[in-house]
Structure 1
Amino acid sequence: MNLPSFFRTIQAKLIIIYVLLILIAMQLIGVYFVSAMKTSLTSNFTKELQERAALLSVLAAQNLGVTGESADASLDNLSVLVNNLFNINGAEIQVLDASGRVLTTSKPSHADYVGTKNTQTVVSRALQGIRDNEEYMIDEDNVRKKVVAKPVIRDGKTVGAIYIAASMTELYNTMERINSIFISGLLLALALTAVLGVILAHTITSPIKELTRRATAVAEGNFHQKMPVLGNDEIGQLSKAFNYMTSRLQDALAQNEEEKEKLASILTNMSDGVIAADEKHQVILMNRRASEMLRVQEQAVSGKDIMTLLHLPLEERAVLERGTMHSTILEIDSPEGDTFLIRVTFTPIHRREFGLSGTIAVLQDVTEQEKLEASRREFVANVSHELRTPLTTIKSYTEALEDGALEDPELGPRFASVIQNQTDRMIRLVTDLLHLSRLDSKEALLRKQSTGVLEMLEEVVDRFSFQMQEKEIHPEIFIEDGVDTAWMDRDQIDQVLDNLISNAMKYTPEGGKITFEARRVDDGMIAISVKDNGIGIPKRNLDRIFERFYRVDKARARNMGGTGLGLSIAREIVRAHGGAITLDSELGEGTTVTFTLPTQEQGGEGK
């Protein structure tokens, strides 16, 4: 065990504090006890000496101050009193006369003191009649003694003194034994205290260690830790709080993971691209849609500068640094050669204390939107142009009629015929536009039924037989075996065929040929083709041939009375039936238009 580490633990601190408290308490108790015991023993020892000295002074008073023949007898009596009756172990008793001369002593080794004067202070005080005389002394053998002196009074006069010098060795030996017993008890108490301290500290620190271990496991992500609650004390309350914390953390983590998964799912499945950058404009997050738009890998852009990633000019960085919301349009070239328009909207992220902390860039593919907007503008321009031309003609001829041409028998009817033709042209244009509008809004009700294909194609040829005879155009009809009927709205499909035949006749020279063909294709569909050997269409115009008001040769088409909406209407009608229409053409060789129809009741709108 590493001792320095151990002494820094709570367990060691508790043991040390507990032992120190017991040690200090025992020391205080010991000091007080020893001091009180010493005072008591010393007081009792002195009191005993005082009492013996007082009794001896009373008895000695009968034998002091005697003169003559009885003086020797009195001295013998004093010797008997000192040596037998009042002998004290380790003490010396002296009887002094009024001058302080030693008459007798209880210590044989000090027999030579007899006849000499005792000049100690306590003796002088006693000879003066003072009763309380005592002092400590250390003799030549380094023995501590207690000295007591009492005056001997007879007939009111001080006739001598009693001097007692008692050794205190036994008293101090007793004190040392008491100190030894106390120290032994102190050591035993400290040992027991240390053992009890270890047990007590273990009972306190063991739950704390277990709590620390489980808290470490929680910090590492294991939120299923539970502390056993062994009581309702502070440790038990701490265990309850820990268990409550882990359950709340587990709930919070589950909720956070759920929200994170939701956010990741939203970002992944968003139709818009999202790029997140930090305050240094380095990319930290990009969803799948953004990577598809920019043709980059998500993993390859982490940490890359967002300005470099989006190929933005330097002036955009200055705007981005200002932390203002703004948008810009990017042109992205695909490997196939197409150009995509991407609107990028930058939204700064501000934190109250740190200012600009990041940027969110939202990428929207506005290619179709821009194309739609361009088509809308072109559509409005085309409608305006198509209406302006006949209106201008009508206005001009009307003004001419008002100016007198109406009275002219030759010009009047001719001008009125022109006005009528232009009016019919506008009516056809408005009718086609309304028809397209109903098809776009799904308001055109299709009355579908099973219709014979051969019968329908023959009727179409009959309707245009007069115009074909005028241009010497030869029609041909080919029906594949097994092609009998199709599921369609006969009137609508007749309009499609009328538009296709009308276009074929316009652009097929005299002596040409128009071929009608019906064949079966996959998925229960039949394909009907109208093929001519006319002037054809350039390849560059094929992609836009079904656009509204689009004409390959605008001047020639207007002169032939076309509105530029026929193929658009045909496409919408075929789509409403659940089919598709395509056009294939070679310049100078002819054009083939093919559309498909279902053979059974399926698909389309307005069944």
Structure 2
Amino acid sequence: MKGIRFFQSIQAKLIIVYVLLILIAMQLIGVYFYKTVETYFKNDFLASRNSQVTLLAGFVGSYLTGDQDSKNAAEGKKTYADLNEFVSNLFSINNAEIQIIDANGNVISTSVPNHLKQKNTQPEVIRALQGIKDNQRIFTDEDGYRKVIIAKPVGSGARVLGAVYLIASMEDVYKTIRSINRILISGTLIALGLTAILGVILTSTITNPIKEITKQATAVAEGNFDQQVIIQGTDEIGQLGHTFNFMMNRLREALSLNEEEKEKLASILTNMNDGVIATDDKGHVIVLNRRAKQILQAEEETTIGLDISKVLGIPNETIQGLLQGEVRTTLLDIELPDDDEQFSVRITFTPIHRRGEGQSGIIAVLQDVTDQEKLEQARREFVANVSHELRTPLTTIKSYLEALDDGAIEEPQLASRFISVTRSETERMIRLVTDLLHLSRLDSKQSMMSKSTTLVSEMLEEVADRFSFQLQQRKIEIVIRVEKGVTGLLLDRDKIDQVLDNLVSNAIKYTGDEGAIRLEARKIEKDMLEISVQDNGIGIPKKDLTRIFDRFYRVDKARSRNMGGTGLGLSIAREIVKAHGGTINLESELGQGTRVVFTLPIQQEEEDEL
């Protein structure tokens, strides 16, 4: 694998390119040199042999004139024997055969005795005997040796006396050429080796910085920005390394800034009071913050990837309609699985648009508006209750006044009863308005508190005294118990008396004849005092306990109204206790009785404004 990886590297490619360039250059030079040397040696060989043949043809002309007999020999003329000696001694050529041929084509002298007096029928000889001067041919014999044949006519003028025939081997020439070629190949191989070595050295100066940059780029891709590329020169690669370091620093700054922004966004999403859900272009949930999980009672692992319509329980057509409309808000009621209550969530849908790609996702913002809805509902109920509470006595007063105006005033007994009812309803409206004014002052912090030290036991006994007539009339027993050590307490006596009067009055109203009421005071902590009012009356249903302190809320509306209650007593009591820095709670079981407990701090400032 490393070998394959090496051949796929730039260094290997550069080395191969250098080697191929040198190889091609050497091949071109070698071919040219080889052809030039071959042509030179071959032409030189042929020219030398042609010169020898031409020279021989000039010398043997005198031997071919006249008859070659004994008479000529006796007279001292040149004979064929002299010609053989001349050819053998003066024109002996290595790897060559020379033949002197007469006009009839017969070999009269040769350097190879076996061919003497044989007839030579070579085409070159025939052409030479015909007077054609240039007759040569190169061929390869049966043994694979290259040879040359040269034939020259002997004679002067138009008369041809014979021919000189030469057949010579060219193997020495080609052997020399092959030696030169081997030298050239050896030089080429040495040059290629040196080129490869130099290529490795040269490419290392190029590829090593590239490898270093690649290594640093890999480290950057893995998140490591601590190292820098070493700059080893001012050339293009050095400039590339410098640019890479600059880019890495800018990238580190950009990623750091991006991480900071991402952490800020994650922190904002996590700590938002509103839930946020983001989807991709297909409507699948990709982001879900903590508040959204709390609102939807969902886990991130099971929610991510789901369609937003399934997560919210809203049809996809409705969501698309909201996204395309001007009003993109809807109200969703969610029921808790482990609770009978439900809470309201306002969902606002906003499309995410990407330039050139249209809608790329949806952002849904979930706002828990349960308290707002409850407050709005309480406001509506409050207005309705006030209207109802005022309308009933006003209607009664109007009816009786109309009756008096119609003549009932002339009947003293009837007129007296009508006036008594009218006075009673008027007092009822006054109590209602007074309670509303009291609550308004408490809510607006306008009710001043005047605190003084009060004995708790004395305060409870005075409450019992104020209701003694009603208690005796209904034969209800009241028991007061103050824990040892509970003495004085700094509080607004009038307001706490109002709380106790309201609680004891309610206990008397909803306790049957011969019942029992218990007043207790005890320390629950070193700085808190607990006062409780407990009866054994009819009790309160469980479903009404959570709203018992709401304004105008009555468990039994008809009975409460007949008993003269306005429905504001417990609300006023809660506000007074809160103004003192305490809490108030109610425990009750239907048919078993009710216990109201409120706490007060033992140490307080003497003056405190609500």
Under a length normalisation based on structure 2, what TM-score does the superposition of the two structures give? Answer: 0.71
Shift of 1:42: 1.8
Change (3 A) 1:466 1:174: closer
Deviation digits for residues 431-457 of structure 1, max 9, x if unmatched?
3223323433x4325345444447994
Q: 1:112 aligns with which of 107, 116, 125?
A: 116
Supply the distance in 2 between the matched residues of 1:513 and 1:59 (Cα, whole angstroms): 173
- Compare 55-64 and 166-175 and name the one that shifted more: 55-64
Is 2:127–2:135's contact at 8 Å kept on the other side of the alignment? yes
The match for 1:41 is: 41
Shift of 1:47: 2.8
Change (3 A) 1:571 1:265: same
Amino acid in the other structure paired with 1:39: T
Amino acid in the other structure paired with 1:149: K
Change (3 A) 1:321 1:458: closer
Shift of 1:392: 1.0
Deviation digits for residues 136-184 of structure 1, max 9, x if unmatched?
356798561241526543xx66564663626233322222222232233
The match for 1:434 is: 437
Q: 2:386 aligns with which of 380, 383, 387?
A: 383
Change (3 A) 1:324 1:229: farther
Supply the distance in 2 between the matched residues of 1:219 and 1:110 (Cα, whole angstroms): 91
Q: 1:332 aligns with which of 333, 336, 339?
A: 336
Shift of 1:40: 1.2
Deviation digits for residues 44-66 of structure 1, max 9, x if unmatched?
22333444555566667788768
- Secondary structure, counterpart of 2:581 in structure 1: coil
Q: 2:181 aligns with which of 179, 182, 186?
A: 179
Supply the distance in 2 between the matched residues of 1:567 and 1:137 (Cα, whole angstroms): 137
Amino acid in the other structure paired with 1:37: V
Supply the distance in 2 between the matched residues of 1:598 and 1:511 (Cα, whole angstroms): 34
- Secondary structure, counterpart of 1:443 in structure 2: coil
Is 2:451–2:606's contact at 8 Å kept on the other side of the alignment? no
Amino acid in the other structure paired with 1:598: P
Change (3 A) 1:446 1:152: farther
Q: 1:573 aligns with which of 573, 576, 583?
A: 576
Change (3 A) 1:21 1:604: farther
Change (3 A) 1:432 1:392: same
Supply the distance in 2 between the matched residues of 1:469 and 1:130 (Cα, whole angstroms): 171
Deviation digits for residues 289-331 of structure 1, max 9, x if unmatched?
6666677876688899999999x7xxx6786898977664332
The match for 2:31 is: 31
Change (3 A) 1:323 1:237: farther
1:282-293 matched pairs, under 5 angstroms: none
Supply the distance in 1 between the matched residues of 2:568 and 2:221 (Cα, whole angstroms): 71
Change (3 A) 1:284 1:125: closer
Deviation digits for residues 380-425 of structure 1, max 9, x if unmatched?
3321210111221233234345545567777667656655554443
Is 1:49–1:164's contact at 8 Å kept on the other side of the alignment? no
Is 2:57–2:152's contact at 8 Å kept on the other side of the alignment? no
Supply the distance in 2 between the matched residues of 1:455 and 1:140 (Cα, whole angstroms): 150
Q: 2:152 aligns with which of 149, 154, 164?
A: 149
Supply the distance in 2 between the matched residues of 1:86 and 1:584 (Cα, whole angstroms): 150
Shift of 1:43: 1.8
The match for 2:327 is: none
Supply the distance in 2 between the matched residues of 1:140 and 1:73 (Cα, whole angstroms): 42
Amino acid in the other structure paired with 2:525: D
Is 2:345–2:370's contact at 8 Å kept on the other side of the alignment? no
Amino acid in the other structure paired with 1:43: N
Supply the distance in 2 between the matched residues of 1:62 and 1:606 (Cα, whole angstroms): 163
Deviation digits for residues 12-52 of structure 1, max 9, x if unmatched?
66555554444443333222211111111122223334445
Q: How many residues align?
A: 594
Structure 1: runs of 5 or more not aligned = none
The match for 2:166 is: 165
Under a length normalisation based on structure 1, what TM-score does the superposition of the two structures give? Answer: 0.71
The match for 2:326 is: none
Change (3 A) 1:51 1:605: farther
RMSD: 5.8
Is 1:224–1:246's contact at 8 Å kept on the other side of the alignment? no
Supply the distance in 1 between the matched residues of 2:155 and 2:589 (Cα, whole angstroms): 166
Change (3 A) 1:83 1:572: same
1:1-16 matched pairs, under 5 angstroms: none
Q: 2:397 aligns with which of 372, 379, 394?
A: 394
Amino acid in the other structure paired with 2:37: M
Amino acid in the other structure paired with 2:44: N
Shift of 1:186: 3.4
Change (3 A) 1:465 1:563: closer
- Secondary structure, counterpart of 2:609 in structure 1: coil
Supply the distance in 1 between the matched residues of 2:44 and 2:590 (Cα, whole angstroms): 147
Amino acid in the other structure paired with 2:442: L
Amino acid in the other structure paired with 1:45: F
Supply the distance in 2 between the matched residues of 1:206 and 1:544 (Cα, whole angstroms): 81
